[in-house]
Amino acid sequence: MAQNQRKKKQKKAGASSARDNGNLKVILYIVLVVVGIAGAVALGTSGGSSETSTDTVVTVPGGVRPAEYQKVSSTGGLLAPLPESGADTETGKSVAVLKGYDLQGRPVTIDPAGEGKATMVVFLAHWCPHCNREIPVLNKWRESGEVPTGLRVVGITTGSKADQANWPPSKWMTAMKWPFEVMADSEAQEAAAAYGVAGYPFMAFVGANGKITARTSGEVPVEQLQIFANAAVAAK
């Protein structure tokens, strides 16, 4: 009889052990599923974040991150600032070659002589009321079809200040529907210094020979723009 009781106890113990093992397997399975789901969620969140972040994206080979200021290199002599009155003594002088990037980080080079192309360089400040009035004039000029064939127009955002109106320049240029190329100046305004910028908007007209044909500061009517642009294209 004692032997039968021992066998019954052994059977109960075996059954209990089997149940415990089964429960343990279920618990481990649940834990693995939960961990797997958490990992997938974390991975998905991380992946989505990196795709939508614009401050880490390089848009093209040779480009840099989008930014409101960009690195600018200037090769060649600097032009003296445009005088407030009288003749511009820098007319006929060669301009520096500028290399930099646009607001999206794409490489931009301004080298009229190297490209053999007349160029109009427009310096714009987002907070400047005169710039905000001049851009629509330039837009209409472009829409009229009167911009001379062979004239390259590049706008340079400069003098940018985060505590001033219409910051950031990238959104401002989009809102203003700027129709031409863009280069972002450095925070030190190296591009502006190379062209002797004095006030905004500032326009420099350069012939295909790389020499200044005219510089002007302030709002300019379409008729005068046309005269300056035609002279730049005609320069040899």
Q: pTM for this one?
A: 0.76
Do 155 and 98 fall within a single domain?
Answer: yes
Q: What is the pLDDT of residue 43?
A: 34
Kindly state whether residue 68 falls inside one of the protein's structural domains: no
Q: Report mean pLDDT in 10-residue bins for the chain, 236 residues.
A: 46 47 48 43 35 46 91 96 95 98 97 98 98 97 96 98 97 97 98 97 98 97 97 94
Kindly state whether residue 63 falls inside one of the protein's structural domains: no
Do 42 and 134 fall within a single domain?
Answer: no
Do 200 and 100 fall within a single domain?
Answer: yes
Do 43 and 107 fall within a single domain?
Answer: no
Per DSSP, the residues of 143-159 read: HHT-SPTTEEEEEEE-S
**169-177, long-range: CB < 8 A, 24+ apart:** 169/68, 169/103, 169/126, 170/66, 170/68, 170/103, 170/104, 172/126, 173/103, 173/126, 176/132, 176/135, 176/136, 176/139, 177/135, 177/139
Q: What is the pLDDT of residue 47?
A: 38
Kindly state whether residue 114 falls inside one of the protein's structural domains: yes
Do 77 and 188 fall within a single domain?
Answer: yes
Q: Considering its fold, how many domains does the chain have in total?
A: 2
Residue in 34, 46, 217 with CA at minimum distance from that of residue 130 = 217
Q: What tokens appear for 10 in the block?
A: 């052994």
The DSSP output letter for 199 is: S
Q: What is the pLDDT of residue 57?
A: 56
The neighbour count for residue 13, using CB atoms within 10 Å, is: 10
Which H or E run includes 182? strand 181-184
CATH number for the domain that contains residue 230: 3.40.30.10
Do 48 and 159 fall within a single domain?
Answer: no
Do 98 and 186 fall within a single domain?
Answer: yes
Q: What is the pLDDT of residue 46?
A: 36
Q: What is the pLDDT of residue 23?
A: 52
Contact 174, 68 (CB under 8 A): no
Do 139 and 225 fall within a single domain?
Answer: yes
The crossing angle, in degrees rounded to 10, of helices 129-144 and 222-234 is 70
CA distance 166 to 164: 7
What is the domain range of residue 24? 1-53
Contact 116, 198 (CB under 8 A): no
Do 107 and 218 fall within a single domain?
Answer: yes
Do 138 and 219 fall within a single domain?
Answer: yes
Kindly state whether residue 58 falls inside one of the protein's structural domains: no
